[in-house]
Every structure is written in C-alpha cells, then in structure tokens.
Chain A
Amino acid sequence: MSYFRAENLSLHFGGLKAVDAVSFAVEKGEILSIIGPNGAGKSSIFNLISRIYRPTSGRIFFEDQDITEEPPYDIARLGIARTFQNIELFENATVLSNLLVGRHRHSTTQLWQELLFLPSVRANEKVHRRRVEQVIEFLDLEPYRDKLISGLPYGVRKVIELARALCSEPKLILLDEPSSGLNVEETSDMSFWIRDMKSELGVTVLMVEHDMSLVNRVSDRVIALNYGRVLAMGSPAEVQQHPDVVAAYLGA
C-alpha cells in the first residue's frame, strides 16, 4: 500500500475537465514533482487534496485512510501541510505569529483556559515557540521574527510560507511552485531546503514546479500532466525525454 494515493481523481468545471481521471501514488520519504504546461491541472490537484475543491469523482487515500470526505481543516490535522503559489500569508501579523498559526493543529487548550492564560496554556505556548524556533533556525529566518509580513520582500515571504507549513510538523508537505518569483540564488537555497526536509525532517514532499533545474536537482520521481491527464511518470530524465511530454511543451 502506498503512503499517499490518488485514484481516478477528476475535477470538472461544467464541460472543462481540469483534472481528468488522474491516479498516482507517493511513497513515504520521496520527493515527487508534478510538472506540466500552464493550465495542466497541477494546482487543481493540490486544491483537491487540501479540499479547497471537492473532487467530481475519485478518491484520495493517506496512510490507508480515505480522506476524500474529510473537512478542509482536518487535512492539516492528519499531517498534510501546504504552501500556496501566490503566497497566502497573514499580512498584518508578525512572522512569529504566522509561524505559530502553523502550530494550530497541535493546540490542545480550551477557550476558557486561554482567557485566563492558565499555566497549562503558558507551557504549551513555550513548546510551540520552541518548535517554531527550530524551523526559524532551519530556514535562516532569524532576522525577521518580529517583522510584519506586509513589510517583507517577496523572496522572504516565500520562505516564510514554507516555514509555516513546516511548523505544523507535517508528514506530507505540498509545495505549490516553491521557486516562482525567486532569483537563481534563492532557488538554489530552496532546493537545498527541500532536500534537507526530506533527509533531516523525514517529510514526504509532493511538489508542483515549473523550474526544470530545481525539479531535476531534488525530485526522486516526476509526473507530467497536460489537459488534466497524466502524460508520463518516472525519473526526471525519463519524463523529460518522453515524446508526449516534449510534444506538450514544444508543440508537435
């Protein structure tokens, strides 16, 4: 049994088949990239997994549990975190409180305890804070702890998105174009972090990416999509030489 599995996943908007009977599996501890031209349905697959969209048909399994019908907020609770292509940070909050929201799935305190800020709440806060500090150290975010997001440059925000997802201590992380809008150096930093996530934190990575150099550097396997269908699946080199993939990108 695979760690994460999508079976015949479809998403139709009226007559448009954004995702059309896509099946794939992610093994524990691997980095799987999804590539494809614009509008191929890559981000739609992510939105199906994080339940922003409801699939027209098909099922999603995680750790042998059917999560197709789970409410969106429970997906994070199960250990699946994600980042967003266009950055969905909490603009008017500090970096620290953004990252602490990432800890939300681990919060156990009740409302009345929080109103009184009982010792248990304080103790929990310190645990959260320590975990957040580990992520801050991992991603070199020390200079930004108390800064507001709205004053930070794009490249830093992108890293904070990754950090927020990591703060939830996910088992599976969905990265939606982690390198979009980043320069060459930032992209290479990102590739190191993605590999470290896998090797040091033991996180399984499912990634949508356009930058082929990043895909080649980090991916164990690649899936190529076009018009909502799987064109090819395999190692990065295999997929890039697949005639259908070449045709999709260059136009045959």
Chain B
Amino acid sequence: MRFLFKTDYEDDIRLFPHSGYVVSYGILLAVLLIAPYVVSSYLMSQLVFVCIYATVGVALLILTGFTGQASLGHAAFLAIGAYTAAYLQKYGVPFPVYFLAAGALTGLIGALVGFPALRLQGIYLVIATISFAFIVEEILARWESVTNGNEGMRVKALSLLGVTVSRDSPAFYFLCLAVLVLTIVGTLNLLRSPTGRAFVAIRDSETAARSMGVNVALYKVKSFAISAAITGFAGVLFAHKLSFISPEMFTLQLSIEFIIVILIGGTFSLHGAVLGAIFIVMIDPFLTYLKDDMPGIIAGMAATFGAGTQSAANVQSKVAAFASLNGLKGAIYGIIIVLFVLFEPLGLYGRWLKIKLFFQLFPLYKRATFKRQKIYVKSERNR
C-alpha cells in the first residue's frame, strides 16, 4: 500500500496524485492509440460509440452527478447537435465551424432549458426535461424545411483540413477519442476550481451554498449550458458516425441509455461515464447474440432432457417469439437499472474501488467500509 505524504498545496491540485497514475493512464492511452491498427473493424466501430457515449456520460455527470439536477432530455441535446451539423454541412460550412456552432447552439438551448428548471426539484425536473425532449423530437419531425422531417437527413463524411475522414477510418476514431479526452480534462479542471465546487455545493445543500455566496440560479444555468454544449459536440460526431439521422433515433430510450451510462458506471466519478459507456455499447451485441442463439440453445437443452423433436421445435419458436418482442430491450434496461440501484449503488467504478481496496488491505478488508450508513441527523431543509 502506498502512502502519500503531501508536502505542497500542489499535491492537492494536481490531476495525477502520484506517478502510478501517470504510468497506468499512459499505458491505457498507448493501447487506445494502437487499437485501430490491431482490432477488427467491428470492434473499432464499437470503440467510436464508446467514445461518443462516454462524452455524453461526462456531460450528464456534470449536470446530474455533480450539480444534482436529473435530466432525461439529453437525447434532445444530442439531436440538436447532430441536426445543426447536418444542416450547416449542407450549405458547405467547414467542419471546425459547424462543430463549434453545434456546441454553442446546444449550450445556448441548454441554458434556456435551465431557466424554467430553476424552480423545479427532483422528479418534477425529470418530467420537465422529458417534455423538452418530446418537444424537440416533434419539432424535428415537423420542421421539414430544415430537418427534412421523418425522412431524415444524410450526413456526408466530414472533411478536415482538406482531407476526407470517413466514418470507419482510424482518423475518425482519433477525433472522437480526442473530443472525449479533452472533455474529461476540461471537466476535471472545472471540478478542481470554484465552479466545480459550487456545483457540488448546490447538489448537497442549496441553502448552505447560497449562504456561502454561491449564486445558485446562475450556477445551475451554467451547469445546464456546459452539459448541453458537450452533448452537442458529441451529437456532431454521432451524426457523422451514423451518416444518417432521423427523429426516431433521438427518443426517450436514448435519454434513458445515457442515464444508464452514469448510473451503472457510478455517479460520483468521471470513470463512471467511461465504464458505463463501455457497458451500454457492449450490451447491444450481447442482446443480439442472445436473441439469435438463445432459442436454439434452449431447444437443444430441451432435447437433451428428453423432449421430443416436435416439442423442442415448439420451445424454440416460443423462445424466438419472446426474444423478438417489441420493447424487450427497454424492459431489460429497466431491470438493469433496478438491480444496480439495489445492489451496486456506487456503480461499476464503485465495484472497482472495492476490488482495489480489497487487495490493498488484504487480508483486512471489511465489507462494512462501503455500507450505506443511516443518517441520523437530517436537517430541516430551507428551500
């Protein structure tokens, strides 16, 4: 076990507490940089989606994890970013310009959503953000002169500095990775400066934050704007990756996927966004695999345990019918959320910390270290 002796205020400020972090993150970065030349093109594509989802996850963590304002409207922010890019690209605007414009516009709309949200708490805020998402979805479907309605919009491959970057090329992956890394570094910077601390203060006690001089309304709007802007940037990449966007891609289910990203990853650390993104991107091929192979496997098992050919085929078709039910994915997401909230409230990153601590303290680890304690002193909140 390593003991850190802090001898300078710099020790509390630096991003990497000790050299071990530099080494492990260096190795991770090296692996990520050689990945496109090693792994299959399918896995590459999944990695790009991990980067995009993780970027949105970080954005959502700023708003929900650190400022304590729940949002189920991030699919709408993603859509605004994506459509801004698609629309501007149609008129020949270069990539860097529409990339920044999409972020700026989404940030502005995020701030506008933040204003009415100032008076809302908890579940009411969730309802407000859901309705915002529905409004955006409806506008995208109806405003045909700009969005081409339900027919959707094609997004051409992006060109940067005169070079065309196709959506499957390593260069596009590096771009997504760069956006993710810059987002994470920017967010870490924010969290170690007054603004980030004000966010956390608002999350834990608005009254105390206010009495310490934090302009709660201003910082909530700031948090909404930053979160929306980052999601807008991710939206541009999302549009390019899919090369086609239409309103039905940005539904409530996508917003829920983003919430799952941070809930499953862990809401207290940026690691959570990345772990959650890996989880959500990898669960899709896993579900497809189950859907395709599960009926056969179960029928095979039924046959082994003495069922006739007829009834085994019967079982196979029944399971196949169940697996292709509409909305099964949503139900599975729901179950995952419930299980995580009940049994792993700190998320995957929390689990990782527990594993790490187990080896650091071996054989002295106590399970009670992470037990949720009952809080006996609950203040009468002045809202």
Contact = CB atoms under 8 A, between A and B. Distances in A.
Do A and B pair up? The answer is: yes
Interface of A: 47, 50, 52, 71-77, 81-82, 84, 86-93, 96-97, 100-105, 107, 109, 111, 114-117, 121-122, 125-126, 129-130, 133, 150-151, 154, 164, 168, 181
Contact of B211 (A75, A111, A130, A150): A75
B13 A73 contact: no
Given A104-B194, A104-B198, A168-B212, A89 B189 contact: no
The 8 closest A-B CB pairs, nearest first, are A76-B213, A86-B379, A107-B194, A88-B208, A90-B204, A105-B213, A114-B193, A117-B189
A115 B222 contact: no
A93 B200 contact: yes
Interface of B: 9-10, 12-13, 186, 189-190, 192-198, 200-201, 203-205, 207-216, 222, 226, 268, 373, 375, 377-380, 382
A175 to B, nearest CB: 13
A103 B208 CA distance: 13
B204 A92 contact: yes
A26 B213 CA distance: 22
Contact of B200 (A90, A102, A109, A129): A90
Contacts of B190: 111, 114-115
Given A93-B200, A111-B195, A125-B193, A101 B214 contact: yes
A125 B193 CA distance: 7
A93 B379 contact: no
A104 B197 contact: yes
Given A115-B189, A122-B13, A90 B205 contact: yes
Nearest to A164: B212
24 contacts: A52-B210, A73-B210, A73-B214, A76-B211, A76-B212, A77-B213, A82-B211, A84-B208, A87-B377, A87-B379, A88-B205, A90-B208, A91-B375, A92-B200, A92-B204, A101-B214, A103-B194, A104-B213, A114-B193, A121-B193, A125-B193, A129-B9, A129-B12, A130-B9
Contact of A111 (B12, B207, B222, B375): B222
Contacts of A89: 204-205, 208
Contacts of B189: 114-117, 121
A47 B12 CA distance: 35
Given A52-B207, A90-B201, A114 B194 contact: yes
B197 A101 contact: yes
A111 B189 CA distance: 10
B69 to A, nearest CB: 15
A1 to B, nearest CB: 25
Residue in A104, A105, A122 with the greatest tally of chain B CB atoms within 10 Å: A104
Contact of B201 (A81, A101, A121, A154): A101
Contacts of B203: 90, 92
Contacts of A100: 194, 197
A96 B12 contact: yes
A84 B380 CA distance: 10
Nearest to A130: B9
Nearest to A96: B12
A129 B12 CA distance: 9
Given A92-B268, A111-B195, A154 B212 contact: no
A91 B204 contact: yes
A211 B375 CA distance: 25
Contacts of A121: 189, 193
Given A77-B213, A87-B377, A93 B204 contact: yes
Contacts of B204: 89-93
A91 B204 CA distance: 6
Contacts of B197: 93, 97, 100-101, 104
A72 B218 CA distance: 13
A115 B194 CA distance: 11
A110 B198 CA distance: 13
Residue in B12, B203, B214, B379 with the greatest tally of chain A CB atoms within 10 Å: B12
Given A101-B201, A109-B193, A126-B9, 4 more contacts: A52-B382, A84-B207, A87-B379, A151-B373
A151 B379 CA distance: 16
B188 to A, nearest CB: 8
Contacts of B377: 86-87, 154, 181
A24 B213 CA distance: 25
Contacts of A77: 213
Residue in B13, B211, B378, B380 with the greatest tally of chain A CB atoms within 10 Å: B211
B164 to A, nearest CB: 31
Contacts of B10: 126
Residue in B204, B208, B209, B222 with the greatest tally of chain A CB atoms within 10 Å: B208
A125 B192 contact: yes
B376 to A, nearest CB: 8
Nearest to A80: B211
B374 to A, nearest CB: 11
Nearest to A151: B373
Contacts of B207: 52, 84, 88
Contact of B13 (A93, A114, A126): A126
Contacts of B375: 91, 150
Contacts of B13: 122, 125-126, 129
